[in-house]
Amino acid sequence: MTEPTAPALPVVRRLPRYYRFFSELKKNGVKNISSRALSELMGLTASQIRQDFSVFGIKGQQGCGYDVTETAAELGGILRLDRRKKAVLIGAGNLGRAISEHMDFEGKGYELIGIFDSDPALTGTVLRGLNIMSESELAAFCLANKPEIAILCVPTEPAPELARLLYDGGVRAFWNFSHANIAAVCPDAVVENVHLSDSLMILSYLYDKNC
């Protein structure tokens, strides 16, 4: 009896993009699309699309492709955008403020329930309709409100300790903008890293190569 293997990460990482394209097609009133037509739109091979979809049991119909509305809903369901997730944001500096005001959390099932910062000057000021709290209140807040996900917009140095505090408060998912190794201090938590500076360095490399 073999365990059903989890979908490969490269496939998972393509899901949000599929979701975006199907949402867009739906908005444009497109009813069906073949893997062939979608492949041209997305710059993938039709084979890969069919292969990816089969991993998640997304079914089309021979002769007329995939139902746009149905597939969009399935992709959203696989990504669990419907599932309600309570989130806290740690760090209300430039990045934290931008993330809190720029992202469409609700559209992805996230509910931002608390914002924390170590700077006393920020405590009590309002961001996205929430009073910024002191990091000293974090542990008690977690116990009382049970957030599941934390967004780490703090510098690399304080990040591991804060992550551990959140972990001990029950948080098991981190959206990590720092360079700290969160996985190392939070076993069996999931960590999605966003390394903006790495991305900018890669651009520098690619640009120069291109010249």
Partner DNA sequence: TAGATTGTTAATCGATTAACAATC
The radius of gyration of the chain's CA atoms, rounded to the nearest angstrom, is 20
- Tell me whether residue 47 or residue 145 sits nearer to DNA (CB atom): 47
Would you say 140 or 190 has its CB closer to its own copies? 190
Per the CB < 8 A criterion, the answer to whether 20 and 45 are in contact is no
Site residues (CB under 8 A) for its own copies, limited to 43-72: 43
Question: Which residues, numbered 176-205, are part of the site for its own copies (CB under 8 A)?
Answer: 179, 181, 188-190, 192, 194-205
Q: What angle do CA 93, 146, 100 make, to 5 degrees?
A: 25
Count of residues near its own copies by CB under 8 A:
58
E strands along 10-55, which residues? Answer: 32-33
- The whole-angstrom separation of Cα 108 and Cα 46 is 27
What's the min distance (Å) between Cβ of 7 and DNA?
9
Beta carbon of residue 95, minimum distance to its own copies (angstroms, whole number): 5
Nearest alpha-carbon partner for 161 in 182, 147, 179: 182
Residue 94 is a binding residue for its own copies (CB under 8 A): yes
Unique residue bearing structure tokens 């000021």: 125
The footprint of DNA (CB under 7 A) covers 8-11, 34-37, 44-48, 50-51, 53-54, 58-66
Strand partners, 66: 33
61: partner contacted, choices DNA, its own copies, none (Cβ within 5-8 A by kind): DNA
Contact partner at residue 150 from DNA, its own copies, none, CB < 5 to 8 Å by partner kind = none
Pairing mode, strands 126-127 and 130-134:
antiparallel
DSSP-derived pairing of the beta strands 110-117 and 66-67: unpaired
- Residues near its own copies (CB under 8 A) are 6, 12-13, 15-17, 19-20, 43, 78-81, 83, 85, 93-95, 97-99, 101-105, 108-110, 148-149, 172-173, 175, 179, 181, 188-190, 192, 194-211
